[in-house]
Structure 1
Amino acid sequence: MLVVWTFVVNVTQTFYQAEENHNITLDWTFTTKPDTSSNSLFIYCGLITGRKTLYDLQRGVEVSESQDQQFLGRVQFDKDVLREGRIRLQLSRLRTEDSGLYLCKVKTDYGGNAGECRLNVTVQQLHTDTSGLKLSRTRRGCFTLNMMKMIFRILQLINLIACVSGTFVVNVTQTIFQAEENHNITLDWTFTTKPQSSISSLNILCSLFLNREILVLLHLHDGVEVSESQDQQFSGRVQFDKDVLREGRIRLQLSRLRTEDSGLYLCEVKTDDGISMKEWRLNVTAADQLKPQRPTVSPEPESQGWIGLYVGLGLTAAAVLLVTLCFALRRRFTKSTDKTENPSSVV
């Protein structure tokens, strides 16, 4: 039985190749409903490898101040196609530093998801003026582009069917992880796997999502770890257990935890069998917040009763002693007075 309205984000191409100073259009598609309002739509597209914001839409309103200086004045967003479930961004006057891995995250009232693509901008080459050569190149380019589009659409259809039918699933052992700073923590995911599955077809992207920033925790492309994608915040603190991948497990150890590691994490897994993702939250508390406080020791009610009894007896004994002493002194004083007043009685 198919799951209705499963939210999916796809890219028309997973790899874009272009030449500097040229323009390129990046396309994503996402699940939409007829009654969807742009006021409930959040879109974040950014260059992950450089942690730079390409485009930011909050509740249907473009947040231009979030855009990185590198892309300023070079991005055109087609807002008219949003209702069709499409995100179309044109990046003009390409630069070689625009190369890298791009992620587009979409969130609505009925779901959220993300899709990634890679852009490679090459240095501009000098072209010959021979018109026949230009025509040949153009024809070959058009043929290659059309073939690539057709292949990508077929792959997207296969992935969509796999996601909707629920054959490929990513799960997390815990949805909330709690730890103390400077300690270590092990994060675990599981994903659907088959005996004949190859690690070389495995793509994993785990990231920390902040308000307007994406920090890559782990990036695995075609079974190979892409260390340059990892954010500086996690550098040298992540250990990845590659041996358990064949069992359908992702195991990461994050050491020397910091409070800034806290937040919402998203792990996306893509194989030949399908694509899926799962989110979880990590909360790292400061060390001094978890130190137990010594409880104030107060005497038990029974002990208080005995103490009162002892104090009362002590005061009573002291009072009796004082009265006895006073009586003895008075008696002695009286005898002395009698002897002074009757001297004749003395022999």
Structure 2
Amino acid sequence: MEDPTTPHYLTSNRDRLTVHGPSGPLVAPLGSSVVLPCYVNELLLMEDLEVEWRRRDSETLVHLYQDGESRAEAQQQDYHDRAHFFTDEIQHGNFSLRLDNLRAEDEGKYTCKVYSQQNYGETVVQIKDVERLLVSGSDEFITASVGEDVTLNCSVDSHITPEDFEQVSWKKTDEDILVLLYQNNETLPESSDERYRDRVEFFIDEIPNGNFSVRLKSVKTEDKGVYMCQVFAGGLSANATAVLEQLGLSVLHIMVLILCFAASGSALLLCCLIYCRSSKKALSLQVLLAICPNIILLLTFVLWGFTEGFWNETIICCALYILRPLMLFNAAPYLKNLPRA
């Protein structure tokens, strides 16, 4: 029995048949459908009609019409469910092929071979310049004040449907930290580094439009750096970057600075008063010298915790500045036993 994938023009002598194709190469975007024209201007008998579509570079069988039906089992695996005939048009001499979900590797030349009775003909169709996966990000550096929300832009310029995106990841490249992950058609916030968990999110309604920008909430000074949006789709990958820099001071930061200056200033003022006052009043001023700066610095570190989120350091420092006045109050009953100058 003859192998249905064997080119018939190699096994029998046939008269030439005029088969028409496109006037030039076909250009189509990645992920779209493209029609490869192939037709004859004469009526052919359906009996013994066979049509083959093959890759010219490798003789890979893309589609086969034989014995009045498409022979899907003879197709190369990569073209299953992607290469189709217009079945109703075959009787009119139209053997064009629709290739769905176009991939970058589909670029190349295809041969449409038509066998009818003792006639044979072919035409060549070329697919070129398949649009690559293009990802664009922020064109300029992003500036913000600490505590504000910012948007890191990432848009995919292609005709790929959201279901065909294998993975989209946001990473902070200078520290190799995973910020947010989109995979299997869903966002995976639990995969984010703890520094970004609950602070970063996709614009879910925009994903069907190829928009994978993220909102970063309550920006901190440690967030400054380079972020990369990497997209994997259709066996291809591309990326874009966004740079977050020049983080300005927020109102809370300014308050922290004021409190730091106030703590230092109060300490200097009390030292001057102690030097100028009598010894009895100096004792009270020394108590204030121990209490006032510590209370001010306690408030300073509480505000610092709100702005930067370093709660471990904040708790330790606050505990230190609370313990100092408490230790002084605990020692107060014994101050009368100290020798006076």
Q: Say whether the fold is shared (TM-score over 0.5).
A: no
- Normalising by structure 1, what TM-score? 0.34
- Normalising by structure 2, what TM-score? 0.34
Higher CA-based Rg = 1
| Bigger fraction of residues in strand | 1
